[in-house]
Chain A
Amino acid sequence: MTVEALNQRTARIDGELKVSGGADYAGDHQLPGMLHGYPVVSPVASGRLERLDFDAAMGAPGVVEIIHGGNFPRLNRSPDSMAEENKVGEVRLPFEDDQIHYHGQYLALVVADSFEHARAAARLVSIEFSCAPAVAGLSSAGEGREVDDEAVTLGEPARALAAAEVRIDAEYRIATEAHAVMETHATLASWQDDRLTVYESTQGVVFHRNALAQVFAMAPEQVEVIAHYIGSGFGSKLFMWPHSVITCAAARLLGRPVRTVLPRQWNFANTGHRPASLQRVRLGADRDGKLQAILHDALNETSPVEAYSDSCASATPSMYACDHVAVTQRIAEVNHGTPTSMRAPGEASGNFALETALDELAVELGVCPVELRRRNFTVRDPASGLPWSSNHLLECFDDAAGRFGWERRDPTPRSMRDGHELIGYGMATQSWSAMRKHCTARASFLADGRLSIATGTQDIGTGTYTIVAQTASQLSGVPLDRVEVKLGDSQLPAGPLSGGSMATASTLPAVAGAVREAIATLQRLSIGEGGRFEDAAPSALEFRDGRLWHGDESASVAELLQTLERGSVDAVVSTAPGDEQKRASFRSFGAVFVEVRWDPGISRLRVARVVSTIDGGRMINPLTAHNQLEGGVVMGLGMALFERLEYERDGRLHNHNFADYIVPVHADMPEIELVTLDYPDLAFNEFGARGVGEIGLTGVGAAVSNAVFHATGKRIRELPIRLEALLEE
């Protein structure tokens, strides 16, 4: 069986469970004797906590204890290392000092016998604090500091820019954006002697386990983190946040399980966000539009307790054929909660700036924006000097432009109308780097004929359960409904984070390896003593369609195991990226085209149509892949048009609820037409898959703003695009 057959539109194997309410998310678990936590948070963005008064709250019905700085145990900070796999969202331990760093910072956790009692008592905690002036936003945060290892210089960009015939120099702003996952973060912690079990809504059970082990000074084996189903993450659940530490500490202190389900308001404040950014892009080009220099300087906000860099310009050196490139990254402290990775971190922001600047260059030169990008297509990655493993961007341009009807575009702004509406066409390049990590998987043939696969990654909704089952089924011939997949438990063989579009490329090779190894073991045992084909030559055996064949004779896995008198045959296989990154550069590309309609009379801006073509390697399951890309595009539309965390002048978060933080709804949906080119990237892994979780989102912001320019003649260099900006004269 080859992996060729993998490209199949298989419906999700967990679909039936999800539509009938049977999928178990962290907050759905209840344990005997369980208590409920509800956070008490800072009402201001900056200052000092002077005193907490618990008298009223402790007397409220059902309250068992209030966890705070005064009774919190001494714990250890996590080393916060990506390599050690214990990276956390916020290194500062809860209640570590009495400084108030941001609005919503945890000051205490009320623990009571019911959720309602905990919530009611939280209001009764009185908080005395002194205020300090807050840095309310990036615009008042100053220049910040440079992130040392992120500057890249190729050639002599300053000289090349000065010498260029045509130059663009512009600044781009992006507001703080929230992941706004539908399931808020939740932790259920319980201790049995010196063992800790945690149900957590996490994109990385292994990372979370390691981080907790560090914080509570335990061996990793003593900690088990479980996340069977996750109400999506988009980055916000990659790394551990303080609510998890507080809840685990509370459970240990009280000797009972404690569950904290974050209320929506504080989920907005305390579990990361895409940081606001300010980027300057300078382009130099010759009259033909060949890029001579790209200078991209980015600044993003971080919190006072964490140095988070979004690496906005990191992809810029790889995007186009240009010998003279300089990128820098700075971060500046703002009294907001700590930022973190959000879907297509860095690149979504950086790509908005770069792709809008390119549109400005196209206008300046009077060249078609697609043609400009074609002229600067590069056959190798300028950043590494290596050839692309597989790059079909030019085909993406042709395919998407053709389906969109780009040739109908009159390049003059405000020239295309339909009744009251001005129509604008805009486009941008999409891109996301391809990453792969190590993974270990176990495959077990069971005596009842099932095949069980286990690996400690998790399915955040992208379809990991399904593609793992598909892979195992295809390689073994065991029907899909007889393949059982176990994910989302740190006790399983260690798997990767579900993030960065790398889960597929990392997990499948290990799963395939384990299945093959298990088949080989089964064959070896079957020709050994007491086996079904005792003494047969290994070369005379063939495993096909779930059966072992020897000439005309064959036996099913169940029969083989029965003969061997075994309950199961397993194999554990670990895989890791090889040295392929030394031979080629791996990156997915795409092109996105957008039609907007602007009605000046009623100040209405709508995206009417999106057409995109993506080169993301092979689609293991085109259905789940299209879902991912489409969802990404819609999130990109949210970023372009609506999404913005608003802060008051004193740094307090204003719109931390779904009434005021606007995400796209069904009625906002434009027509979206997506096509994926199916060129396997076999240098990357045997499946040829590069991952599609992030790329759909990239480019959408720029394509919308470029279309808005075409419709209105107004160049908007800020996301989300505010209607006010379009109304300004």
Chain B
Amino acid sequence: MLQFRLNGEIVEIAEVAPHESALVLLRETLKRCGTKEGCASGDCGACTVALRDPGRGPDARFESVNACILPAWQLEGLDVITVEGLAKGEALHPVQRAMVDHHASQCGFCTPGFVMSLFTLYHDPEPLDDHRLAVALGGNLCRCTGYRPIRAAALAMRETAGVVPDWIDQVRPFAAEACNDARAFHRPTTLAELDALLKRHPDARLVAGGTDLMLESTIRLADFPQVIDLTRIDALKTIEEHDGGWWVGAGVTYTQLAPLLERHYPAFARLLDRLGSQQVRNRGTLAGNVANASPIGDTPPVLLALDARLRISGGDGVREMALNDFFLDYRRTALAPGEYIQAIWLPRLGDGEQLKVWKLSKRRDDDISAVLMAIRLRLDDSYLRDVRVAFGGMAATPKRALETEAELEDRPLDEAAVAAARAAIAREFTPLSDARASSDYRLTAAGNLLERLRLQLAEPHVATEIH
């Protein structure tokens, strides 16, 4: 039986299939149709709802998620807020009132999703600024309004009168009933349980955020007989700090990782701002991105440039490997059946080491990259040392650019070096042409990114960030 608290009321559902999404549960089983489906792939935000884990106590915050790609079972034990929960009788929540006052809905189909994205922003204690506003709105599409009225509503919401239902501010933990083991969606809470489950169901699919996995069901119509959920295991939710770096557990979401990146790898943090949307980052994980092994995954090139390592468990105990040895071929990895990524090692940047990341895409938010370059380097009196360059979108896997690295190592980054590196890129990569970009565009753009790096190192005061 699945138990959670929907808009302040406990709900219990007897049967839920392992691949069932929270959206289907809300709309079909519970007949709460205020939450909309626009795509079932996490791209439009019409299905946005807010989650809060009351188990986290008074600090628990609301997070926006895409219900369409959230496994319904992951609602277990959580506070779930949908658009129907905000209004108290006739009285609207300030977010809703601001949306009405600023004419922020036309057809209204995107509206519930925008309301919920803004709801989480409204209840976030941080002050509202442009950046946070853009982040909150980045995962919702509207085809009618052109967004300006929605933005106006967002800017005005904190000064708008309205009624906040009292239960929203109270964090009241409740004990969800223990799960029945026979069902096909397994929720281990310890590594030992996880290992045992993997032995019993070596073919089970693992799920962390589900932001890749669930699309296999909603879009490619796959069926998952057995799913093992990693999000209940405390041991996977930790970030361990060491002198040389950090072990980031496989259950750490992008949102939870962000503060660390902000402090130690600002360029990585900027990339994260543009990975998927806030809804996706609130669920998605680094380990899921790595395990998914997409050639256009955003984080693998960065992790490659950082010389990241993986701790892999399952099968015959725990082993470690360099990420560079992990990607074998198009969507093929070194993981054996029954193995999983337990944690990812992020090496601390040494003195004088810098990390730079550039992602090129057509649209600013919520878009997969055409080309992504990550480079780590140390500047030694204008000489480049210990250069690591990796690209996404340029080959069948995320890939280090070894020849390019060799061209850049131990020389100043001048025009000649960029030209040599361009030639090296053209030698070691034959990118594909697809709808996102042509092969030539990718090669030229990759070279342009190095040129950009040259300019940035030469004139550090000139803004060369790509937005």
Given contacts A264-B39, A462-B106, A672-B148, contact A19 B221 (CB under 8 A): no
**Is the beta-carbon distance between A601 and B105 smaller than 8 angstroms?**
no
Which residues of chain B are within 8 angstroms of A601 by Cβ–Cβ distance? 448, 451-452, 455, 464
* In the complex, chain A residues whose CB is within 8 Å of the CB of B441: 603, 723-724, 727
Check B146–A669 contact: CB distance below 8 A: yes
Segment at the B interface, from A71-79, A175-183, A389-397, A401-409 = A175-183
**Which residues from B are CB-within-8-Å of A723?**
362, 437, 441
Residues of A within 8 A of B40 (CB): 263-264
A603 to B362: give the CA distance in the assembly, Å: 10
A16–B145 contact, CB under 8 A?
no
Q: Of the 9-residue stretches B94-102, B260-268, B328-336, B345-353, which lies at the interface with chain A?
A: B94-102
B100 touches A12 (CB 8 A): yes
Any B CB within 8 A of the CB of A129: no
For chain A, give the interface size range: 35 or more
Q: Which of B441-467 contact A (CB under 8 A)?
A: 441, 444-445, 448-449, 451-452, 455, 462-464, 466-467
- Please give, as numbers and ranges, the residues of chain B lying within 8 Å of A263 by CB-CB distance: 40
Binds A, one of B165-173, B302-310, B364-372: B364-372
Chain A nearest Cβ from B222, distance in angstroms: 7
Residues of B within 8 A of A1 (CB): none
B314 within 8 A of A: no
**Interface membership of A660, Cβ < 8 A:** yes
Which one, A45-53, A114-122, A333-341, A358-366, is touching chain B? A114-122
Q: Does B103 contact A (CB under 8 A)?
A: yes
Asked if residues B87 and A20 are in contact (CB atoms below 8 Å), the reply is: yes
Say if the beta carbon of A300 comes within 8 Å of chain B: no
- Cβ of A21 within 8 Å of any chain B Cβ, yes or no, is yes
Per-position contact with A for B166-201: 1 when CB-CB < 8 Å, else 0? 000000000000000000000000000000000000
Given A15-B105, A461-B107, A635-B143, check contact A659 B368 (CB 8 Å): yes
A657 at the B interface (CB under 8 A): yes
CB distance from A460 to the nearest CB of B (A): 6
A660 partner residues in chain B, CB cutoff 8 A: 368, 435-436
Closest to B149 in A: A627
Asked if A182 contacts B221 (CB within 8 A), the reply is: no
CB <8 Å contact, B466 and A20:
no
**Per a CB cutoff under 8 Å, which of A20, A22, A23, A232 touches B143?**
A232
State A630–B150 Cα separation when bound (angstroms): 12
Kindly provide the distance from the CB of B150 to the nearest chain A CB, expressed in whole angstroms.
Answer: 7
CB within 8 Å of A: which B10-38 residues? 17, 19-20, 24, 27-28, 31-38
Q: Are B36 and A183 closer than 8 Å at their CB atoms? A: yes
- Asked whether A19 and B99 contact (CB < 8 A) given A665-B363, A665-B365, the answer is yes
Tell me if A20 and B83 are in contact (CB < 8 A).
yes
CA of A196 to CA of B287, assembled, Å? 52
Separation of A231 and B46 alpha carbons in the complex (Å):
11
For the complex, is A417 an interface residue (Cβ under 8 Å from B)? Answer: no
On whether the beta carbons of A672 and B96 are closer than 8 Å, the reply is no
Contacting pair A11 B101 (CB below 8 A): yes
Evaluate contact between A623 and B221: CB separation under 8 angstroms: no
Residues in A whose Cβ lies below 8 Å from that of B46: 182
Prevailing SS type, chain B contact patch = loop
Closest to B113 in A: A182
Q: A182 to B365, Cβ gap below 8 A?
A: no
Q: Which residue of B lies closest to A603 (CB)?
A: B445
Residues of A within 8 A of B326 (CB): none
A120 touches B223 (CB 8 A): yes
Contact call A114/B448, Cβ cutoff below 8 A: no
A460-B107 CB under 8 A given contacts A16-B96, A662-B367, A672-B148: yes
Please name all residues of chain B whose beta carbon is closer than 8 Å to the beta carbon of A687 when the two chains form the complex.
Answer: none
Known: A12-B103, A116-B17. A20 touches B364 (CB 8 A): no
Interface flag for A582 (CB, 8 Å): no
| Chain A residues, CB < 8 A from B27 | 28
When C-beta atoms are compared, the residue in chain A nearest to B433 turns out to be: A724
Segment touching A, from B133-141, B233-241, B379-387, B406-414: B133-141
Contact residues in B for A12 (Cβ distance below 8 Å): 100, 103, 105
Cβ-defined contact, A19 with B111, below 8 A:
yes
Q: Which residues of B contact A667 (CB under 8 A)?
A: 134, 138, 363-365, 467
Check A20–B86 contact: CB distance below 8 A: yes
Interface string of A323-367 (1 = CB under 8 A from B): 000000000000000000000000000000000000000000000
| Chain B, Cβ-Cβ closest to A121 | B221
* Cβ contacts under 8 Å, A14 to chain B: 108
Distance in angstroms from A127 CB to nearest chain B CB is 14
CB pair A662 B151 closer than 8 Å: no
- With A11-B103, A665-B363 already in contact, the answer to whether A23 and B151 are too (CB < 8 A) is no
CB proximity to B under 8 Å, residues A619-634: 623-624, 627-628, 630-631, 633-634
A461, B39: Cβ atoms closer than 8 Å: no
Q: A182-B142, A183-B36, A665-B138 are in contact. Are A231 and B365 (CB under 8 A)?
A: no
Q: How far is the CB of B425 from chain A (nearest CB, A)?
A: 15
Q: Is the CB of A19 within 8 A of B107?
A: no
Contact flag A182-B107 (CB < 8 Å), given A20-B83, A659-B43: yes
* B364–A631 touching, CB < 8 Å: no
A564 to chain B, nearest CB (A): 33
A153 at the interface (CB under 8 A from B): no
Is residue B269 contacting chain A, with contact meaning CB distance below 8 A? Answer: no
> Is residue B416 within 8 Å, beta carbon to beta carbon, of the partner chain?
no
A604, CB-defined interface residue at 8 Å:
yes
Encoded as 1 (CB less than 8 Å from any B CB) or 0, chain A from 600 to 614 comes to 011110000000000
- Check if A182 sits within 8 Å of B141, measured CB to CB: yes
Cβ of A642: which chain B residues have Cβ within 8 Å of it? 362-363
Q: Considering the complex, give the chain A residue whose CB is closest to the CB of B108.
A: A18
Contacts of A181 in B (CB 8 A): 107, 109, 143
With both chains docked as a complex, state the minimum distance between the C-beta of A719 and any C-beta of chain B, in angstroms.
Answer: 14
With A116-B20, A601-B455 as known contacts, state yes or no: A657 contacts B437, CB within 8 Å: no
Interface pair B108/A461, CB less than 8 Å apart: yes
* Least distance between B343 CB and chain A CB atoms (Å): 29
- Distance from B201 Cβ to chain A, minimum over Cβ atoms (Å): 20
Chain A residues with CB below 8 A from B463, complex form: 419
Q: Is A668 an interface residue (CB 8 A)?
A: yes
Q: Which of A232, A602, A654 has the most CB of B within 10 A?
A: A602
Contact of B138 among A182, A232, A666 (CB under 8 A): A666
B92 touching A20, Cβ below 8 Å: yes
Chain A residues near B (Cβ < 8 Å): 11-12, 14-25, 27-28, 30, 114-116, 119-120, 122-123, 180-184, 229-232, 234, 261, 263-265, 419-420, 460-463, 601-604, 623-624, 627-628, 630-631, 633-635, 641-642, 644, 646, 654-655, 657-660, 662-669, 672, 723-724, 727
CB pairs A–B below 8 angstroms (17 shown): A19-B99, A20-B92, A21-B32, A116-B20, A119-B221, A181-B107, A182-B38, A182-B142, A183-B109, A231-B36, A231-B107, A623-B103, A630-B149, A633-B146, A642-B363, A666-B150, A723-B362
